[in-house]
């Protein structure tokens, strides 16, 4: 079965991972900009990363017939450095017209400092000014509820922002309702030991339905599984959910969200037209 991986940091994965994803049905990945595991020292370091995301990574994905889309920002963790953040935000617009760029993300808060919140708001304003979609990271720490609430409250202050063009990711049982009830899309990100498991994600789908909910691996340089979606699909089947419902969760819902960007094309549409048979 085909699937779209909504949240994968492929720059930190090997080509073997692309191969496993392709073999398990992945047809497109959406890769948000994130923290590299170490702090970058200059705005130029971010520009090099944006070039990696928009030039090198799509070519690597293409070798496995996987479409590659990306989101640009200075991540929540480094957002605490206001001087650096202000400079990087100024440099983002020149990359927004590149083919696979869908919007601004993953922005949000990490330790919920005042500086992080200011940087978050700068990014939202950037998205509004340039009519970009937004992908949002919510903190994984004990303050997930507080962080998600601050993010949602701040988003609602932007009157020109259309909530249906924003996905608030890393939702859990205690945050999903405030995200969905305010009109945003949400994401359940699957992790091997900590955070949301495939079982918990299926529980959430059974409780909240499928509307505006996506599932993703959120794989990065830490312990994570780039083929987490097939495990989610297997758990859905074990509980006897129909294939059409699984398709909605792993393909139709991500496509419906991403298609709001004119740059996203369903994998079938992006292929060159078939050569007609000779007469
Ligand atoms: Zn991420």
Q: What is the pLDDT of residue 124?
A: 98
- Token code pair at residue 233: 């699909």
**Alpha carbon distance 96, 127 (integer Å):** 10
Supply the DSSP string of 158-191, one letter for each residue: -TT--GGGEEE-S--TTTHHHHHHTT-EEEEE--
**DSSP helix, strand, coil percent of the chain (3-state; round to 5):** 45, 15, 40
Q: What is the pTM of this model?
A: 0.93
Distance in Å, CA 7 to ligand 1 centroid: 6
Domains and CATH numbers, the chain: 3-270 (3.20.20.140)
Distance in Å, CA 218 to ligand 1 centroid: 5
Distance in Å, CA 110 to ligand 1 centroid: 12
Cβ–Cβ < 8 Å for 123, 107: yes
SS3 label, residue 156: helix
SS3 label, residue 133: strand
Distance in Å, CA 276 to ligand 1 centroid: 42
> Of 169, 194, 190, 193, nearest to 180 (Cα)?
169
**Alpha carbon distance 178, 203 (integer Å):** 18
Q: What is the pLDDT of residue 193?
A: 73
The helix (H) or strand (E) run that includes residue 82 is helix 82-91
Distance in Å, CA 161 to ligand 1 centroid: 22
Name residues of the chain where pLDDT drops below 70.
Answer: 269-279
Distance in Å, CA 279 to ligand 1 centroid: 51
- Token code pair at residue 39: 């702090």
Q: What is the pLDDT of residue 272?
A: 46
Cis amide leading into 69 (omega within 30):
no
Other CB atoms closer than 10 Å to residue 205's CB: what's the count?
22
> Of 269, 247, 267, nearest to 66 (Cα)?
267
Q: What is the pLDDT of residue 191?
A: 84
Distance in Å, CA 278 to ligand 1 centroid: 48
Distance in Å, CA 277 to ligand 1 centroid: 45
Other CB atoms closer than 10 Å to residue 270's CB: what's the count?
11
Q: How do residues 163-186 score in pLDDT, each as one tens digit?
A: 999 999 999 999 999 999 999 999
Q: What is the pLDDT of residue 278?
A: 55
Distance in Å, CA 135 to ligand 1 centroid: 10
**Alpha carbon distance 258, 255 (integer Å):** 5
**Tokens 């992790």 belong to residue:** 191
Beta-bridged to residue 166, according to DSSP, are: 134
């Amino acid at each position: 079965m085909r699937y779209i991986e909504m949240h994968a940091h492929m720059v930190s994965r090997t080509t073997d991972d692309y191969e496993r994803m392709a073999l398990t049905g992945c047809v497109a990945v959406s890769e948000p900009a994130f923290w590299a595991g170490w702090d970058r020292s200059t705005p130029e370091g971010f520009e090099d990363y944006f070039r990696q995301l928009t030039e090198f990574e799509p070519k690597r994905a293409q070798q496995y017939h996987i479409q590659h889309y990306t989101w640009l920002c200075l991540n929540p963790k480094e957002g605490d450095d206001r001087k650096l953040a202000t400079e990087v935000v100024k440099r983002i617009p020149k990359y927004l017209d590149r083919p696979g760029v869908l919007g601004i993300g993953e922005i949000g808060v990490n330790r919920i400092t005042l500086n992080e919140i200011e940087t978050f708001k700068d990014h939202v304003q950037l998205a509004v000014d340039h009519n970009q979609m937004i992908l949002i990271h919510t903190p994984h720490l004990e303050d997930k509820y507080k962080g998600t609430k601050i993010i949602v409250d701040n988003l609602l202050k932007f009157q020109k922002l259309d909530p249906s063009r924003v996905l608030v990711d890393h939702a859990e049982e205690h945050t999903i309702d405030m995200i969905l009830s305010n009109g945003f899309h949400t994401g359940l990100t699957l992790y091997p030991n900590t955070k949301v498991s495939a079982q918990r994600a299926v529980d959430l789908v059974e409780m909240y339905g499928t509307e505006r909910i996506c599932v993703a691996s959120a794989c990065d340089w830490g312990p994570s599984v780039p083929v987490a979606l097939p495990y989610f699909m297997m758990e859905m089947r074990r509980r006897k959910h129909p294939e059409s419902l699984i398709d909605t969760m792993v393909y139709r819902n991500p496509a419906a969200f991403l298609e709001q960007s004119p740059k996203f094309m369903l994998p079938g549409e992006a292929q060159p037209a078939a050569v007609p048979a000779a007469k």
